Amino acid sequence: MNVNMFKAGDDILQDVDQSCKDRLPAVEELPLPPSFTWGTATAAYQVEGGAFQDGKGKSIWDTFTHLDPSRTNGENGDIACDHYNRMAEDVVLMASYGVDVYRFSIAWARILPLGGRGDPINEKGIAFYNNLIDCLLEHNIEPVVTLYHWDVPQGLYDRYGAFLDTTEFRADFEHFARLCFSRFGDRVKRWITFNEPYIISIFGHHSGVLAPGRSSATGGDSRTEPWRVGHTIILAHTAAVQAYATDFQPTQKGDISIVLNGHYYEPWDAGSEEHRLAAQRRLEFYIGWFGDPIFLGKDYPAPMRAQLGSRLPEFTSEELDLLRRSAPINSFYGMNHYTTKYARALPDPPAEDDCTGNVEEGPTNSEGKTMGPLSGMSWLRVTPAGFRKLLNWVWDRYRRPIVVTENGCPCPGESQMTKEQALDDQFRIRYFGLYLDAISRAIYDDGVKVEGYYVWSLMDNFGTSIPLCPTTPSNVS
């Protein structure tokens, strides 16, 4: 791939008013490093289908999408893109695009149908991923593997609530990770433990709009459960990282890390210290929540401790020591990013179930200025300047090479377009061009180390029509 393919002029922005057009910078032909890798990404539940094929077990998403009444517009991933049965032709399609990398996730319940460390292995599921990896390598495409992209086996949720039991989940996830390292690690050289732990914690266990659908309204506790879930993820990630570093990395010579999602936040009133602090606090509640323990080997950000008090779990001295020893092993920062928002400090004390740092986020600032042109999703606006700032924020804070593991957007009115109109997706091309320009500027003007860019998504997958709350960072990513 080449950045030139993403060049486009202002006149291609369709269905966006002139005032928005005028605010978009021109896309310049800027270089990217010769070693820069180009890829695409998917998630198992959203593309594979074959939901109950060849011995695969049920995941929480299989359960969630079949609830009655439906919470997913009557749609499910039983078939999705049928990648499980059409894998070979999908790889040929990728090869025709010239991609360097395919980032995919392994469906935990496809290889361990019941999920647990004492449960039987499904060799047909193992065979599918072996075949996928081999097929990718035959086409000179590097496999980048995500171990967990939201689809915990229903068996573990039924046994002990999955993430709600830190000790049990940590042990089962390490077992699952070790199985993957042992079966696939001779060919897979880059591993991702969890995709978007913020979404697992908040959208799965606070608002309940994603699987497993827990909230105070559905029998959960939105005041405490998200923080328990996040704590579990951090410790499970660390266990898998330690297992890889100790028992597999010396011979397999790969690397491992995690993918964190996040918007960038600008202050609602740039002249106000209160709102500037709110923007920083929102980033810490969103990204620092996981980034500080994992990449810095330290406790949660101070603003989280100050607001949440006893609701935020404590790390034991042994766990903090493990975090400190594990931090250097996380050799890259996986970044999922789509848009930027304004952050406004709220005047009243935070609600007991607040998860934002007592911050209201939105597209408009105190002067009535809108952040950027609207895409096909109400929460996603074209904001490349914020992307560049987030690259800098992450680099300055964590000093890890960044891989943009997801980025993309839907075009305005896409669901009402004909096939021909949808294929002429000039708005999306323009979005890519601007965001790649932001990467170039971050690298060459700011000194940020960015190693690669993976487009979300390879295919128009299951999830694009699920009604999510406006702060959701991707559709569904």
For residue range 252-286, list pLDDT tens digits in order: 999 999 999 999 999 999 999 999 999 999 999 99
Q: Is 299 helix (H, G, I), strand (E, B) or coil?
A: coil
pLDDT mean over 127-145: 99
Q: How confident is the model at residue 3 (pLDDT cuts 50, 70, 90)?
A: very low
pLDDT at 27: 56
pLDDT at 149: 98
pLDDT at 122: 98
For residue range 96-131, list pLDDT tens digits in order: 999 999 999 999 999 999 999 999 999 999 999 999
Known catalytic residue: 225?
no
pLDDT mean over 3-20: 35
17 pLDDT higher than 50: no
195 pLDDT higher than 90: yes
Instruction: Point out the catalytic residue in the list 48, 142, 174, 196.
Output: 196
23 pLDDT higher than 80: no
Q: How confident is the model at residue 296 (pLDDT cuts 50, 70, 90)?
A: very high
299 pLDDT higher than 90: yes
Q: What percentage of the chain reaches a pLDDT higher than 90?
A: 88
15 pLDDT higher than 70: no
The pTM of the full predicted model, rounded to 2 decimals, is 0.93
pLDDT higher for 52 or 475? 52
> Residue 421: in which H helix or E strand, if any?
helix 419-423
pLDDT at 473: 33
Known catalytic residue: 196?
yes
pLDDT at 463: 76
Query: Which residues does residue 191 pair with via DSSP β-bridges, in sequence order?
Result: 145, 256
pLDDT mean over 196-204: 98
Instruction: Point out the catalytic residue in the list 142, 168, 284, 406.
Output: 406
For residue range 349-401, list pLDDT tens digits in order: 999 999 999 999 999 999 999 999 999 999 999 999 999 999 999 999 999 99
Residue 405 phi/psi, 5-degree rounding, is: -85, -15
pLDDT at 471: 40
Mean pLDDT taken over the chain: 92
CA dihedral 35, 38, 43, 47 (to 10 degrees): -150
CA gap 273, 269 in Å, rounded: 8
Q: State the number of CA atoms in the 13 A half-sphere of 382 facing the CB.
A: 27
19 pLDDT higher than 90: no
pLDDT at 61: 98
For residue 265, the one-letter residue type is Y
Per-residue three-class SS string for 102-161: EEEECCHHHHCCCCCCCCCCCHHHHHHHHHHHHHHHHCCCEEEEEEECCCCEHHHHHHHC
CA gap 76, 161 in Å, rounded: 22
CA gap 406, 333 in Å, rounded: 12
